[in-house]
Structure 1
Amino acid sequence: MEYRKLGNTDLQLSTVTYGAFAIGGNMWGGNEKQDSIAAVHASLDQGVTTIDTAPFYGFGLSEELIGEAIKGKDRSKIQLLTKFGLVWDGSNQGKGEYFFDASADGKNIPVYKYASKANIIKELEESLKRLGTDYVDLLQLHWPDATTPIDETMEALDTLIRQGKIRAAGVSNYSLAQLQEAAKTIQLASNQVPYSMLNRGIEQDLVPYTIEHQIGIIAYSPLERGLLTGKYFRDAALKADDHRNGYFGQFSADKVKAFLDSITPLAKNKKASLAQLVLRWTTLQPGISIVLAGARNAEQAVQNAAAMNVQLTTAEIGYINGELEKVYSGQAV
């Protein structure tokens, strides 16, 4: 495994980071507790020391599973990344910005974006309890909240750093303008944003800014939630309540398949899976600090970590980029 410094902090994170959205179960067709814990254990065994989660993932379940999985482990060798700012339990008392209705146990649950100082403090205490720790390595705003001034949110994060409850502060899904506004109050460690072979919009303005200002980019959905593994063009099927039934619709299946077919020989030559080749390519792009890769079981976790064993030459990266250019239109293909 390779480890990288995050932004201007002293955090050293595993380049492949365990993404814990799917083990929360909601929006992913459920989960199996023992498989989820085994996936975390396997990740740690393979040198994946960094785990990214959020209260919203499974309405607290993802954090609880991680807390159980790392119990008894050396906390100083594990980096816990979590978030705040998505409220679903009504504790916001009507404040914040309505986001969407999440489905759980056949019910629709309204979710709000809410990033007030009081809510940040409340959510962090709840996360610490679920995770079974007294500090978080990186606390991130999950989604921008238009009803809370950015400086209020950033001042709260700065206070938590000074209190020692978090080691660093980050954001997720922030635009360039929002990063620039936040910079008036705090030096952020990172911005977690969607980035993949099929979604490269951040390369235009966000990546140059973050490189210049020493802000790390945490790439989520590098495999486009499994689409770039190629298995959904074979025999994999999605459960009815899996959000990817709609998510995959934004892409041209024919174009994606043609691209994957074009790089399959390279993957085979490297004795790697398509997923491993795609993950490795993503880690080698300018400005990308770490990439998130989810795993529902130990086998998937081991395969994700092994992506770092794939060696790509400049010529091979150029070949992949050339094949992408045939189908890439500036947006998701």
Structure 2
Amino acid sequence: MEYRRLGNTELQLSAITYGAFAIGGNMWGGNEKKDSIASIHASLDNGVTTIDTAPFYGFGLSEEMIGEALKGKDRTKVQLLTKFGLVWDGSNSGNGEYFFDAQDNGRNIPVYKYGAKANIVKELEESLRRLKTDYVDLLQLHWPDNTTPVDETMDTLNRLIQQGKIKAAGVSNYNLQQLHEAENTIGLASNQVSYSMLNRAIEKDVLPYSIERNISIIAYSPMERGLLTGKYFKDSKLKNDDHRNGYFEQFQLDKVADFLAKITPIAKGTNATLAQLVLRWTTLQKGITVVLAGARNAEQAVSNAQSMDIDITPEEMAFINKELSLIN
């Protein structure tokens, strides 16, 4: 495993970071608690020291399971990354900017983007309780909120750093203009954004700016929610309430399948799976600090961690990139 510095902070994060969206269950067709906790333990046992979650993942369930999984562990050896700014049923529901309706057990739950000061403080306290800790290493605004002044949100993050409640502050899903505006108030440690072989939009402007400003990029959906593992093309059936049924429609699936077939020999040549090859490729891209990889069981967690053991030769990298140019 490699460990990489987060922006201008002293934090060292594992290059493969445990992404805890799927274990929350909502939008992923449910989850198995025992397997989810086992996946966290397996990650820690195989060099992954960083866990990324959010209150929205399972409407608190993801954070609760992480807190349970870390019971008895040395807190100083684990970096906890969580978020704020997506609110649903409860006292803050209806505040902020309407985002979408999330589905959970047959219910449609309105979700709002809300980055006001009082909500940040409230959400953080709830996260600390669920995670069973008194601080988080990185607190991130989950999505931009156009109803709250940016300086209000960023100034609140600065105060939380001063209070010792968080070690660093970041954002998620920010474009270049939003990064500029936020940095008028705060020195951001990171920007968590979607990035994969099939989605390299940030390379146009967000990535160069982040490299220049030493803002770490935390890449999410590197495997496009399982599409790049190849399993989807092998009679994999998704549950009706799995959001990926619609998510995969944005891609030219025939071209993706053809691309995966072409790079499969590279994976086999290094005794790796397609998923491992995809993860390793992502960690090797310029400006990418850490890559989020979800796991629903211990086997997947071990596989994700071991992707860092793969060596991709310059010739293999050139071949992969050439084939990618044909579908992007």
TM range (shorter): over 0.9
Contact 2:175–2:206, Cα closer than 8 Å, also in 1 = yes
Aligned equivalents of 1:315, 1:151: Cα separation in 2: 47
In 2, Cα distance between the equivalents of 1:253 and 1:178?
Answer: 32
Structure 1 counterpart of 2:165: 165
Does 2:263 correspond to 1:257?
A: no
Structure 1 runs (4+) deviating above 6 angstroms are: none
Q: CA deviation at 1:94?
A: 2.9
2:199 matched to 1:195? no
1:233 alignment counterpart: 233
Letter in 2 for 1:290: V
How many residue pairs end up in the alignment? 328
User: C-alpha displacement at 1:321, in angstroms?
Assistant: 0.2
| Aligned twin of 1:94 | 94
Shift of 1:103: 1.0
Where does residue 276 of structure 2 map in the other structure? 276
Shift of 1:93: 5.4
1:286 aligns with 2:286: yes
Most deviating of 94-103 and 170-179? 94-103
Structure 2 counterpart SS, 1:255: helix
Q: Residue 77 of structure 2 corresponds to which residue in structure 1?
A: 77
Distance in 2, Cα, partners of 1:7 & 1:39: 27
Tell whether the 8 Å contact from 2:93 to 2:111 is kept in structure 1 after alignment: no
The alignment partner of 2:168 has SS state of: strand
Instruction: Say if 2:3 and 2:13, in contact at 8 Å, map to a contact too.
Output: yes
Deviations 1:107-126 (A, max 9, x none): 11110000000000000000
Corresponding residue of 2:175: 175
The AA in structure 2 aligned to 1:257 is A
1:84-119 CA distances to partner (integer Å, 9 max, x unpaired)? 000002322532000011111211111000000000
CA contact (8 A) 2:93 2:112 kept: no
What's the RMSD between the two structures over aligned residues? 0.7
**One-letter amino acid of the structure 2 residue matched with residue 39 of structure 1:** S
Q: Which amino acid aligns with 1:42?
A: A
CA distance in 2, matches of 1:11, 1:129: 22
Task: Letter of the 1:296 partner, please give it.
Answer: R
User: Distance in 2 between the 1:93 and 1:287 partners?
Assistant: 37
Indicate the percent of aligned positions where both proteins have the same amino acid: 75
2:204 is aligned to 204
Q: CA-to-partner distance for each residue in 1:168-223, whole Å, 9 max, x for gaps?
A: 00000001000000111000000000000000000010110000001000000000
Hey, what does 1:32 align to over in structure 2?
Answer: 32
> How far apart are the structure 2 equivalents of 1:314 and 1:78?
33
Q: Does 1:45 align with 2:45?
A: yes
TM-score using structure 2 length = 0.99
Contact 2:229 2:275 in 1 (8 A): yes
- Paired with 1:49 and 1:235, the residues of 2 have a C-alpha distance of 34
Asked if structure 1 preserves the Cα contact closer than 8 Å seen for 2:87 and 2:93, the reply is: no
C-alpha distance in 2 between matches for 1:36 and 1:94: 31
* Alignment gaps of 5+ in structure 2: none
| Structure-1-length-normalised TM-score | 0.98
Counterpart code for 1:271 = N
Aligned to 2:123: 123
Structure 1: gaps of 5 or more residues: 329-333
1:197 counterpart SS class: coil
Q: Does the residue aligned with 1:260 lie in a helix, a strand or coil?
A: helix
SS at match of 1:289: strand
The answer for the alignment partner of 1:155 in structure 2 is 155
Alpha-carbon distance, 1:159 to partner: 0.1
Distance 2:51 2:157 in 1: 20
* TM-superposed deviation, 1:314: 1.9
User: 8 Å contact 2:16–2:291 — kept in the other structure?
Assistant: yes
Q: C-alpha separation between the residues in 1 aligned to 2:205 and 2:314?
A: 24
CA distance in 2, matches of 1:106, 1:275: 31
